[in-house]
Amino acid sequence: MKYVDEFRDGKVARSLAQTIAAEVRPERRYHLMEFCGGHTHAISRYGLRDLLPPEIRFIHGPGCPVCVLPIGRIDSAIELARDHGVILCSYGDTLRVPASERMSLLRAKAEGADIRMVYSSADALKIARDNPEREVVFFAIGFETTTPPTAVALRQARTEGLKNFSVFANHVLTPSAIQNILESPEVRELGTIPLDGFIGPSHVSTIIGSRPYEFFAEEFQKPVVIAGFEPLDVLQSVLMLVRQLNEGRAEVENQFSRAVTREGNLKAQALVAEVFELRDRFEWRGLGEVPYSALRIREAYRDLDAEVRFDLPYRSVPDHKACECGTILRGLKQPQDCKVFGTVCTPDNPLGSCMVSAEGACAAYYTYGQFKGSAEVAEAS
Amino acid sequence: MSANPKPLKHGYIRPLDLKHGKVEMSHGGGGRAMAQLIDELFQQAFDNPWLRQANDQALLTRPEGRIVMATDSHVVSPLFFPGGDIGSLSVHGTINDVATSGARPLWLSAGFILEEGFPLADLKRIVDSMATAAEKARVPIVTGDTKVVERGKGDGVFINTTGVGVVPDGIEISGDRARPGDRILVSGYLGDHGVAIMSLRENLSFSTNIVSDSAALHDLIAAMLQAAPDIHCLRDPTRGGLASTLNEIARQSGVGMAIREEDIPIREEVDAACELLGLDPLYVANEGKVVAICPAASADALLAAMHLHPLGLDAAIIGEVIEDSHGFVQMETSFGGRRNVDWLSGEQLPRIC
């Protein structure tokens, strides 16, 4: 069981940090967006900002699956459990995301709705098998990493002829979100979000490969480094980005060569393509409606689509007025710029979704960064 | 005429079927069935002069010194786990709550809430395990209670235990006594209990060699107090783990804490399991560990005394108390960065990607 420590060696980390400090040019800043919440979490949990020179600025991206889930989708999930009497199976973090009228899946559960936390889509299938007299819906969320297991569950349900199982699909796509950020007026024309390069999520790329990023690197002239989630991975990818920027390159580089290839996992891609197809549009919290940014279940599996089976309408619900999740998810603001950060909105009582998951920028700042005091946090970011 | 049937023995009651029997509503009804359960199971296992009095209360002689009392309800699932079960856990948990005041635990009470249909064989296993734990700890269970709830209204068995102990003169231990400059010690590897339990949860089940650290700490604590009578705070980091314990003490004492990740004893297996589950071992429960805070001058003697006790072999000094009006617990990561170690929010939920 020894696989953790070698990626967390303090000495290696300090020497990497020294190399970065030696190579940054003092006359410029390096604004790096870590797209994925897993990276945001690693940066905060291991105190990586303290190791890096002030020229490196992290901008936190929207890659946190529960953070980008809009209120309307949670409302629909609650409706399924409460009004349609189904057993709703969901990943843990989703339970606490605030929905309309101060509701959440956790509160609906406390009021008697049958909502069960699962660790995998296979758990949801098992619940369906064990409860043949009940409708069981898997509330599927996540980026490309969680999509193949959902596809497997759908195929399995079809093979077994499980009639009481269906999927409420909310799978979203990383490249579409990055493109949306790069094409936003704040980045493209106004330049209010300085954005020099991307730290790309390696888990996503184990599925889709590194190729989908080649377009951004070339079209928008932004370097991308696909990075692992261990703290040493993050530091190394920062160094790779600094070098690209210093040399005026904008390429896709792969720091996570231990698992990511250019093409990705073709078998998983084929499986996803068999079960899912692109949605024309999908609402993201923070980004609004993003075209071709999410997946829905294909015609051939339509009978296992909970949206069809329960005739779920979609109602878009605006976020709480004081909540800045939207601007934080687009990198326009930092968590401590939000008026309700750490006061009305805390991890115990989240107002916005970025405070819910450990991968949300607000939760990471609140949980790991309080001791610094707000001035110092602002400076470090 | 046929032969006389064998006469029934006067007062004969068919003994409890401890192999195949189940808990029935009548076992909590106050009638003969309940009396039988008490006599044949609880009384036999816990046997001591107080229980033999067969009264609704235990008559105790007032001990010298200041008296402490603590109570703890146990609802662990699953009931049996590597390194223990709900029975031994309910004895250890309350003994530890009493002992972390610096007290010598004297007596325990035990209240059982049983679910109708619960196998008597399992109940016997649990009761025997409690009896063994209490005997080993030399703390008798002097009074008890049993209630039965309908099937589906409980989860097998819940156990409440209450403990009474006495604090020797000169010992002043309280969560509000941590002072800047004090050293923070832990008695051994953290997170074993939580990971052992989680490895058995039905939707997780992964294989691990980790066993619960469930243990009674009063002997270790007595040895610690002998070496360092000026210990300021003692607490067992159960639910919420080390992080919650340090935050509680920081708030009570109005101080901050600075700990070093490198010095905190965590087994590789626990670290790996936590990584897999998206958990932070600092927040994972322990049932046989103690956190001690003492003046810097006593720290080495205290650590040496802990190392001499079987339950303190892996004890370590992990940081110090600092001045901080916000009461933050901060940690130097093994990278040399710093981060806050906040209160646990909600349950420790796993990350999903």
Higher-confidence residue: A349 or B11? A349
Phi, psi of A121 (to 5 degrees): -65, -25
Asked whether the beta carbons of residue A367 and residue B275 sit closer than 8 angstroms, the reply is no
Omega within 30 of 0 (cis) for the link into B78: yes
In B, which residues are within 8 Å of A1 by CB distance?
Answer: 268-269, 272-273
Q: Is-contact A171 A138, C-beta < 8 A?
A: no
- What is the pLDDT, as a whole number, of residue B228? 97
Q: Which of A54-58, A86-90, A181-185 is the least confident region?
A: A181-185
Is the CB of A48 less than 8 angstroms away from the CB of B353?
no
Sheet holding A87-90, edge to edge: A115-117, A87-90, A136-142, A165-171
CB contact under 8 A, B350 and A143: no
Q: Choose, out of A1, A41, A52, A336, the residue to mutate when testing the contact with B (most B CBs < 10 Å).
A: A1
Whole-number Å distance between alpha carbons of B240 and B218: 21
More confident residue, B7 or A155: A155
- Residue A38: list chain B partners with CB under 8 A: 351, 353
Can you tell me the mean pLDDT for B238-255?
96
Q: Between B256, B339, B349, which is nearest A44 by CB?
A: B339
pLDDT of residue A305: 97
Q: Which residues contact B233 (CB under 8 A, 6 or more apart)?
A: B173, B174, B175, B177, B178, B249, B253, B291, B292, B293
In angstroms, the separation between the Cα of residue B269 and the nearest Cα of chain A is 6
Q: What is the distance in angstroms between the Cα of A65 and the nearest Cα belonging to chain B?
A: 8
The pairing of strands B338-340 and B316-322 is: unpaired
Q: Could you tell me the residue ranges of all domains in chain B?
A: 25-167, 183-340
- Higher pLDDT, residue A370 or B215: B215
A16 to chain B: nearest residue by CA? B335
Residue B347 has pLDDT above 80, yes or no: no
Using CB atoms, pick whichever of A2, A50, A366 lies closest to residue B338: A50
Q: Where do the domains of chain A lie, and which CATH numbers do they carry?
A: 67-174+266-309 (3.40.50.11740)
- What does DSSP say about strands A30-36 and A56-63: parallel, antiparallel, or unpaired? parallel
Cα gap B40→B349, rounded to integer Å: 43
User: What is the Cα–Cα distance from B241 to B79, expressed in whole angstroms?
Assistant: 20
Burial A147-174 (b: 16+ CB within 10 A, else e): bbbbbbbbeebeeeebebbbbbbbbbbb
pLDDT band, residue B261 (cuts 50/70/90): very high
Instruction: Find chain B residues with C-beta within 8 A of A357's C-beta.
Output: 351-352
Question: Residue B329: beta bridge partners?
Answer: B257
Among A6-10, A377-381, B168-172, B240-244, whose mean pLDDT is lowest?
A377-381
Q: Give yes or no for a contact between B353 and A39, defined as CB atoms under 8 angstroms apart.
A: no
Residue B98 pLDDT = 98
Name the residue of chain A whose CA is nearest to B276's CA: A4
Q: What is the distance in angstroms between the Cα of A149 and the nearest Cα belonging to chain B?
A: 12
Q: How confident is the model at residue B49 (pLDDT cuts 50, 70, 90)?
A: very high
List the single range of A87-96, A163-172, B282-291 with lowest mean pLDDT: A87-96
Binned at pLDDT 50, 70 and 90, residue A92 comes out as confident
- Contact (CB<8Å) B346/A348: yes
Q: Does position B12 have pLDDT exceeding 80, yes or no?
A: no
B-contacting residues of A 146-165, CB under 8 Å?
146
Residue A376 has pLDDT above 50, yes or no: no
Chain B contact for A119 (CB, 8 A cutoff): yes
The whole-chain average pLDDT of chain A stands at 89
Per-residue pLDDT at A370:
59
pLDDT mean across residues, chain B: 91
What's phi and psi for A138, nearest 5 deg?
Answer: -95, 120
In this complex, the residue of B328, B330, B336 whose CB is nearest that of residue A10 is B336
Asked whether the beta carbons of residue B352 and residue A346 sit closer than 8 angstroms, the reply is no
User: Is the model's pLDDT at A380 over the cut of 60?
Assistant: no
Q: What is the reported pLDDT for B218?
A: 98
Q: Closest partner residue to B336 among A51, A203, A369, by Cβ?
A: A51
Does A141 contact B324 at a Cβ distance shorter than 8 Å? Answer: no
| CA distance to partner chain B, nearest, from residue A93 (Å) | 6
- At the fourth CATH level, the homologous superfamily of domain B183-340 is PurM-like C-terminal domain (3.90.650.10)
- The residue-averaged pLDDT of B102-107 equals 98
Going by pLDDT thresholds of 50, 70 and 90, the confidence category of residue A347 is: confident
Nearest one of B243, B240, B255 to B175, comparing CA atoms: B255
Determine the average pLDDT of the residues in B172-190: 98
Give the one of A96, A118, A359 whose C-beta lies nearest to B351's C-beta.
A359
pLDDT at B94 exceeding the cut of 80: yes
Q: How far apart are CA B344 and CA B331, in angstroms?
A: 15
The residue in chain A having the minimum alpha-carbon distance to the alpha carbon of residue B262 is: A10
Instruction: Tell me how far apart the alpha carbons of residues B65 and B134 are, in angstroms, rounded to a whole number.
Output: 23
A208 touches chain B (CB under 8 A): no
Q: Number of residue pairs across A and B with CB atoms under 8 Å? A: 119
Which chain B residue has its CA at the smallest distance from A346's CA?
Answer: B345
The amino acid that residue B68 corresponds to is V
Cα separation, A35 vs A336, in Å, equals 19
The CATH classification number of B25-167 equals: 3.30.1330.10
With a cut of 90, say whether residue B276 has pLDDT above it: no
User: pLDDT tens digit string along A165-223?
Assistant: 999 999 999 999 888 888 888 777 767 778 899 999 999 999 999 999 998 899 999 99
Per-residue pLDDT, averaged over B253-280, amounts to: 91
pLDDT value at residue A332: 82
Write down the pLDDT at residue B351: 28
Calpha distance B149→B179 (Å, rounded)? 48
Residue B162 CA: distances (Å) to CA of A141, B105, B126, B215, B233: 45, 11, 17, 17, 22
pLDDT at B3 over 80: no
Give yes or no for residue A283 having a pLDDT over 90: yes
Q: What's the gap in Å between the CA of B51 and the closest CA on chain A?
A: 41
Answer yes or no: do B333 and A47 touch at CB < 8 A.
yes
Mean pLDDT of B311-336: 94
Nearest to B105 by CA among B29, B39, B169, B164: B164
Residue B1 above 60 pLDDT?
Answer: no
Chain B residues whose CB is inside 8 A of the A47 CB are 332-333, 335-339
What mean pLDDT comes out for the span A47-73? 90
What pLDDT score does B85 carry?
Answer: 95
Percentage of residues in chain A with pLDDT exceeding 90? 60
Cβ atoms < 10 Å from Cβ of B180: 12
Residue A158 has pLDDT above 80, yes or no: yes
Give tens-digit pLDDT for B189-235. Answer: 999 999 888 888 756 667 778 899 999 999 999 999 999 999 999 99
Chain A interface, best mutation among B208, B329, B339, by max A CB count within 10 A: B339
Nearest CA-CA distance, residue A249 and chain B, Å = 30
pLDDT of residue A379 exceeding 50, the answer is: no
Mean pLDDT within B42-65: 93
Task: List residues of B whose CB lies inside 8 A of any A CB.
Answer: 203-204, 256, 262, 268-269, 271-273, 275, 278, 280, 324, 326, 328, 330, 332-340, 342, 345-346, 349-353
Q: Crossing angle, helix A266-275 and helix A147-160, to 10 degrees?
A: 60
The minimum CA-CA distance between B109 and chain A, rounded to whole Å, is 32
Question: Counting Cβ atoms within 10 Å, is residue A126 exposed (0-12), middle (13-18) or buried (19+)?
Answer: middle
Which of chain B's residues have a Cβ under 8 Å away from the Cβ of A141?
352
Does the pLDDT of residue B349 top 50, yes or no?
no
Determine, for residues B339 and A368 on separate chains, whether the beta-carbon distance falls below 8 Å: yes
Question: Where residue A297 falls among pLDDT bands split at 50, 70, 90?
Answer: very high
Quote the pLDDT of residue A111.
Answer: 93
pLDDT at B202: 58
Q: Which of A106, A371, A372 to mutate to test the interface with B (most CBs of B within 10 A)?
A: A371
| A143·B353 Cβ contact <8 A | yes
Q: How confident is the model at residue B279 (pLDDT cuts 50, 70, 90)?
A: confident
Contact A50 B349 (CB under 8 A): no
**This prediction's pTM:** 0.82
